[in-house]
Amino acid sequence: MTADTSTGPIIVIATATPLPGKTDAVIAGLSDLIPVVHDEPGCILYTLNVAENGDVVFIEKWASQADSDNHGATSSIMPALIANVSPLLVGPPVVVTHRAIPLGGPKGAL
């Protein structure tokens, strides 16, 4: 049996690389923005994580592709993100989108 990957939640992993020594400033610039995203339609999970090398990693779960797309296109945080955080990054975040396939019970779903 093949899993249906055409519908269901969307998982987004976005990695941003801060300029040297700017990881804390990036986190500070995001601290007031994250709760706003949590209230966006379709947001199931939106977390900020930091890798050992200082990269900032967002792990997101959206109810649908449309919700994920709307976040990227219309989120009220985007002007502040562009003005306050983007100048602290090496370049634009690398975004990878996946369709969630929950297998094996509750631990099989993000």
Q: Which CATH number covers residue 91? A: 3.30.70.100
Q: Which residue has the tokens 């249906």?
A: 4
Q: How confident is the model at residue 8 (pLDDT cuts 50, 70, 90)?
A: confident
Taking residue 18's Cβ as centre, other Cβ atoms within 10 Å add up to 21
Residue 48 lies in a domain: yes
Residue 2 lies in a domain: no
Taking residue 106's Cβ as centre, other Cβ atoms within 10 Å add up to 6
> How far is residue 27's CA from residue 44's CA, in Å, rounded to a whole number?
21
Residue 63 lies in a domain: yes
**pLDDT at residue 6, rounded to an integer:** 59
List the single range of 45-49, 78-82, 88-92, 100-104 with lowest mean pLDDT.
100-104
Dihedral angle over CA of 26, 51, 75, 5, nearest 10? 170
pTM for this structure? 0.86
In terms of DSSP bridges, do strands 43-50 and 10-16 run parallel, antiparallel, or are they unpaired?
Answer: unpaired
Residue 28 lies in a domain: yes
* Counted domains in the chain: 1
Residue 22 lies in a domain: yes
Instruction: Please answer whether residues 49 and 42 qualify as being in contact, where contact means their C-beta atoms are separated by less than 8 angstroms.
Output: no
Q: What is the largest CA-CA distance in the chain?
A: 49
**C-alpha gyration radius of the chain:** 15
Residue 33 lies in a domain: yes
Extended beta strands in the chain, E state:
10-16, 43-50, 56-62, 94-99
Residue 3 lies in a domain: no
Residue 107 lies in a domain: no
Greater confidence (108 vs 91) lies with 91
What range does the domain containing 80 cover? 10-101
